[in-house]
């Protein structure tokens, strides 16, 4: 079976105050890091139909990222995550020529005040320019990330970001709510966040607006034109195998999960690999199939498993069974965490 290949690039220009991903602002080891990832890739068996280079900020290492793309397999879907403040036409063209055919921009908002509050390095104008440059460089499969429930955000400001998205016409949008994680500078700070009611209004507006653009909600946080869903991310939700390369990368080989340590120095020494190995038994696999698979709006094939939980959740109008599939209702999408809790 074809697998997914994920590569974690743990470097960023600057640390955003809400971020708890593993990344360093010292990029002096980027070349050695790319060498180590290429070595790890060459030690693998099997074939890969999707590649996803995420981070961190992959585009913050410029030419080293191009060198990495050249060494990785020319997968049918090959995504690079990009920060709009770290790309130019030359880099985008080089990435395209090196095999990348999908680009995912961490735009987050088209409102400069919101971007500043998030500590992002780019402006709304740079985000717009980046999408246009990507298209000029030959990328048709362009995704834009939009962040919800962020400081200063209102229904009106989201509407403006959505209008800009409609103008730029990406084929895919990911819309995630800001989660304030412990240990980040945002944690414990008084922030001008939208109220819970406003947050819900914002989410419904995003759903309605993107669907009206023809971007179908295929997963709780992801919208795409038909056929442009992210095949790599779908592997995570449908328990297909994927291998993660690099510091802090996670892998699932179909029966076992493991991860590399979030430590570039150890990674460069060949240490801290395949840690936290966990065999996923039949019962756990079934639970994962439910709480991950139900994130997809098309649901999962249903054969009568977990009858009590399913009866309760269908009774509450959160799940429905149709054509042999179990899936979230509209209300279930809003209250998805209540559903997932039943299966975790
Ligand atoms: S650019 Fe992305 S990975 Fe880097 S610090 Fe900001 S949110 Fe985190």
Instruction: List, as one string, the DSSP characters of 46-57.
Output: S-EEEEEEEES-
Segments making up each domain of the chain, as ranges: 3-235, 288-344
- Phi-psi domain of 323 (left: phi exceeds 0; alpha: psi -120 through 50; beta: other): left
- Angle in degrees, CA 57, 220, 170, rounded to 5: 55
For residue 19, the ligand 1 atom closest to its alpha carbon is 8
- Angle in degrees, CA 145, 148, 154, rounded to 5: 125
- Is-contact 45 117, C-beta < 8 A? no
Supply the residue whose CA is at minimum distance from atom 7 of ligand 1: 19
Supply the residue whose CA is at minimum distance from atom 5 of ligand 1: 15
Ligand 1 centroid distance, CA of 18 (Å): 8
Cut 0.85: pTM above it? yes
Ligand 1 pocket list (CB less than 6 A): 12, 15-16, 19, 21, 23, 55-57, 83, 106
One-character DSSP codes across 53-99: EEES-GGGGHHHHHHHHHHS---SEEEEEE-GGG--HHHHHHHHHTT
Name the CA dihedral angle for 220, 225, 227, 230, rounded to a multiple of 10 degrees. -40
Cα radius of gyration (the chain): 20
Ligand 1 centroid distance, CA of 233 (Å): 19
Supply the residue whose CA is at minimum distance from atom 2 of ligand 1: 56
Residue 53's nearest CA partner among 21, 7, 109, 3 is: 7
Q: Which CATH class is domain 3-235?
A: alpha beta
**At a CB cut-off of 8 Å and minimum separation 6, what does 164 contact?**
110, 124, 128
Residue recorded with tokens 């819970």: 196
Task: Report CA torsion sign: 55, 56, 62, 65.
Answer: negative
Report the C-alpha gap between 234 and 41 in whole angstroms: 22
Per-residue pLDDT of the chain (344 residues; tens, 9 = 90+): 789 999 999 999 999 999 999 999 999 999 999 999 999 999 998 899 999 999 999 999 999 999 999 999 999 999 999 999 999 999 999 999 999 999 999 999 999 999 999 999 999 999 999 999 999 999 999 999 999 999 999 999 999 999 999 999 999 999 999 999 999 999 989 999 999 999 999 999 999 999 999 999 999 999 999 999 999 999 999 999 999 999 999 999 988 999 999 999 999 999 999 999 999 989 999 999 999 999 999 999 999 999 999 999 999 999 999 999 999 999 999 999 999 999 98
For residue 106, the ligand 1 atom closest to its alpha carbon is 2
Sheet holding 256-259, edge to edge: 216-219, 222-224, 172-177, 141-148, 102-108, 77-82, 48-55, 3-9, 242-245, 250-252, 256-259, 275-279
């Amino acid at each position: 079976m074809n697998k997914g290949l994920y590569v974690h690039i743990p470097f960023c220009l600057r640390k955003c105050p809400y971020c708890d991903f593993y990344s360093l602002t010292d990029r002096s080891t980027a070349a050695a890091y790319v060498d180590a990832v290429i070595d790890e890739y060459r030690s693998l068996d099997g074939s890969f139909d999707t590649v996803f280079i995420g981070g961190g900020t992959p585009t913050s290492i410029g030419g080293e990222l191009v060198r990495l793309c050249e060494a990785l397999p020319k997968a049918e879907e090959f995504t690079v995550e990009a920060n709009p403040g770290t790309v130019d036409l030359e880099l985008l063209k080089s990435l395209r020529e090196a095999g990348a055919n999908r680009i995912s921009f961490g735009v987050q908002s088209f409102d400069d005040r919101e971007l500043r509050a998030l500590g992002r390095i780019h402006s709304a104008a740079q985000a717009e320019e980046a999408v246009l440059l990507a298209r000029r460089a030959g990328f048709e499969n362009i995704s834009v990330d939009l962040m919800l429930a962020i400081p200063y955000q209102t229904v009106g400001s989201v509407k403006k970001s959505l209008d800009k998205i409609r103008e730029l016409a990406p084929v895919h949008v990911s819309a995630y709510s800001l989660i304030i994680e412990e240990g980040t500078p945002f944690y414990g700070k008084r922030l001008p966040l939208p109220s819970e009611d406003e947050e819900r209004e914002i989410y419904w507006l995003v759903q309605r607006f993107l669907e009206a653009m023809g971007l179908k909600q295929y997963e709780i946080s992801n919208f795409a034109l038909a056929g442009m869903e992210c095949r790599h991310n779908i592997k995570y939700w449908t328990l297909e195998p994927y291998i993660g390369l690099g510091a802090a990368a996670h892998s699932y080989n179909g029966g076992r999960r493991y991860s590399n340590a979030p430590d570039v120095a150890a990674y460069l020494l060949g240490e801290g690999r395949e840690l936290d190995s966990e065999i996923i038994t039949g019962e756990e696999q079934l639970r994962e199939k439910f709480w991950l698979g139900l994130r997809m709006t098309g649901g999962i094939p249903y054969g009568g498993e977990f009858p009590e939980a399913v009866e309760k959740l269908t009774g509450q109008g959160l799940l429905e069974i149709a054509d042999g599939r179990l899936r979230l209702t509209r209300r279930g999408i809003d209250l998805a965490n209540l559903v997932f809790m039943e299966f975790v």
